Amino acid sequence: MAKVKKQPRPKAVTPKGFRDYFGAEVTQRTEMLQTIAGVYHRYGFDALESSAVETVEALGKFLPDVDRPNEGVFAWQEADEDGKGDWMALRYDLTAPLARVYAQHRNDLPTPYRRYAMGPVWRNEKPGPGRYRQFYQCDADTVGTASMAADAEICAMLADTLEAVGIPRGDYLVRVNNRKVLNGVLETMGLADEGQRDAVLRTIDKFDKVGEEGVRQLLGKGRLDASGAYIDGVGLSDEQAAPVLAFLTSKAADTAATLANLRAAVGDSKIGAEGIAELEQIGTLLAAGGYGPDRIEIDPSVVRGLGYYTGPVFEAELTFEILDEKGRKRQFGSVAGGGRYDGLVKRFTGQEVPAVGVSIGVDRLLAALREKGRLASESTGPVVVTVMDRDRMADYQAMVTELRAAGIRAEVYLGNPKNFGNQLKYADKRHSPVAVIEGGDEKERGVVQIKDLILGAKIAESATLEEWKERPSQFEVPRADLVAKVREILDSQD
């Protein structure tokens, strides 16, 4: 007899680089997104939700990863009649879809168009620790105006947002730079060769990592990196490299002094002067709104995204220290960034459409709040009504109905009720604050037992005998007082 071949069981695993989020992880993010949406909305931004899927054609290749311009997205080919349809892909950010949406609907949208968008994006990259292939972005952009008031507004909104989600003033800083000033520096240096300009840009991008001396070496002959490998330099002379270093280190005690340093760094470059004027305008507008350098400051050492953006660039950093995996103190670092960009819509329409936007790293912000103890790591579970008598399920159901009607999170134990210990273990696993017990005896006497599980755990852990006597954690009350007594216990636990 031929044996029926058994289908092997599928493996129950998330795909590599993806993960599941449970309970508080989900609701805390949802709450944060709602808080952020509230601030964005108050600033006049409208919600937009585009689909997760775009044509590869519309999406373009805007991922900042210059080494692999063709990779980085999850893409597939549609099967049409001939089996060969359009290429589709999951969006890798919320900016490329915005460009497509604006080009497609521009006649129906107001100009300027302020929109916010929040949702997951996908990157087909090698996953690493804490680095996932699906993560949330939370963006606000203003499309269709070149006014620096738009840039200033987004910086102010970013500061307001950080405070709204629970980062107090003093624990964050929004730093502003301008790509045009860098262009002015490059012009002053007289670098005619585009390859060399790109090499300088890439070098500047490493400023965060290698610091002033590192950049100096990389602009010149080269540098031994931490692994011992020798990295070839751009080959500039010290004199040639000087304006770049002057630019990167031009931050001074106040905005006026910083701008003066930048003026020196760009010499008489027109584009450089334009960039400095823009920074000055942003500074003036922010000052008028009461946003001083304790919240937002001009800082030319901000280099992230300088290669991508075309005008002002900004970054929000959390300035408090945390301990890294190895127990060393370090600053928490960047949680949001943005800037001005021109090319995105032009791809579709041929017309340059000025735009400026910001993207908040929601998962990093949540991690920061957890780090600071400002978010509970677990949410409180429901009140659990235990089942002492399987045939009286309707009685227990009536209890939870009453509790829920009073706005109290509650459930009947739905597992096998035979073993009462399992019911209490279940309540423990759910982080339940209260358990309700009604056996046959209680039913007869018209009472219920109510157990304060939080107090119970505390007493079990540390109470003296006196405390234990004084503060019982289980109460017998008339059935009619069920809701009132549960409410009282819950209030006492806050």
Confirm or reject binding of residue 42 to a copy of itself (CB under 8 A): yes
CB of 113 to a copy of itself, least distance (A): 10
Question: If binding is defined by CB under 8 A, does position 47 make contact with a copy of itself?
Answer: yes
Backbone angles phi, psi at 320, to 5 degrees: -80, 160
Kindly identify the residues of this chain, within the stretch 76-135, that bind a copy of itself according to CB under 8 A.
Answer: 76, 86, 88, 90, 99-101, 103-105, 110-112, 114, 120, 122, 133-134
Binders of a copy of itself among 50-79, rule CB under 8 A?
50-55, 57-58, 60, 74-76
- Quote the least distance from Cβ 422 to a copy of itself, whole Å: 9
Residue closer to a copy of itself, measured from CB, 393 or 484: 393
Task: Establish if 18 lies at the interface with a copy of itself (CB under 8 A).
Answer: yes
Find the shortest distance in angstroms from Cβ 348 to a copy of itself.
4
> Smallest distance, Å, CB 159 to a copy of itself?
11
Q: Which of residues 308-367 bind a copy of itself (CB under 8 A)?
A: 347-350
Contact 132, 19 (CB under 8 A): yes
Stretch of 140-148, 177-185, 334-342, 452-460 lying at the interface with a copy of itself (CB under 8 A): 140-148
Site for a copy of itself in 406-465 (CB under 8 A): 407-412, 414-415, 426, 429-430
Decide whether 378 or 467 has the Cβ nearer to a copy of itself. Answer: 378
Buried b (16+ CB within 10 A) or exposed e, 124-150: bbeeeeeebbbebbbbbbbbbbbebeb
Q: Which of 404, 443, 458, 487 binds a copy of itself (CB under 8 A)?
A: 404
Kindly state the helix (H) or strand (E) to which residue 445 belongs, with its residue range: helix 440-445
Place of tokens 């959390």: 318
Site for a copy of itself in 282-311 (CB under 8 A): 284-285, 287-290
Identify which of residues 20 and 239 has a Cβ nearer to a copy of itself in the complex: 20
Nearer of residues 430 and 485 to a copy of itself, judged by Cβ = 430
| DSSP H helical ranges for 129-205 | 148-164, 179-189, 194-204
331: which residues sit within 8 A by CB, 6+ positions away? Answer: 317, 318, 319, 320, 321, 322
Count, residues near a copy of itself per rule CB under 8 A: 98
> What DSSP assignment string belongs to 276-344?
HHHHHHHHHHHHHTT--TTTEEE-TT--TTTTT-SSEEEEEEEEEEEE-TTS-EEEEEEEEEEEEE-HH
As given in the structure block, the two tokens for residue 305 are 């995204």
Stretch that binds a copy of itself, among 25-33, 263-271, 447-455, 470-478 (CB under 8 A): 25-33
CB 45 within 8 A of CB 115: yes
Task: With contacts defined by CB under 8 A, name the span among 148-156, 176-184, 194-202, 312-320 that binds a copy of itself.
Answer: 148-156
Q: How far is the CB of 48 from a copy of itself (least distance, A)?
A: 6
The label of the residue with tokens 């002053």 reads 188
Look-up: residue for tokens 């909104």? 157
Q: How far is the CB of 171 from a copy of itself (least distance, A)?
A: 21
Question: Where in 218-237 is the site for a copy of itself (CB under 8 A)?
Answer: none
Question: Which residue, 44 or 235, is less far from a copy of itself as judged by CB?
Answer: 44
Nearest distance, CB of residue 193 and a copy of itself, angstroms: 21
Nearest to 312 by CA among 474, 158, 166, 427: 158
Determine, following the binding rule CB under 8 A, whether residue 482 of this chain makes contact with a copy of itself. Answer: no
Cβ nearer to a copy of itself, comparing 145 with 493: 145
For the bound state, the minimum distance from the C-beta of residue 416 to a copy of itself, rounded and expressed in Å, comes to 8
Report the distance separating Cα 52 and Cα 122, nearest Å. 9
Could you tell me the strand order of the sheet in which 355-360 lies? 113-122, 134-143, 355-360, 329-341, 312-323, 172-178, 296-298
How far does the chain reach from its first CA to its final CA, in angstroms? 68
DSSP 8-state assignment for residue 109: S
43 lies in the site for a copy of itself, by CB under 8 A: yes
Phi, psi of 278 (to 5 degrees): -65, -45
CA 439 to centroid of chain Cα atoms: 49
Is there binding between residue 34 and a copy of itself (CB under 8 A)? yes
Candidate segments 201-209, 252-260, 389-397, 443-451, binder of a copy of itself by CB under 8 A: 389-397
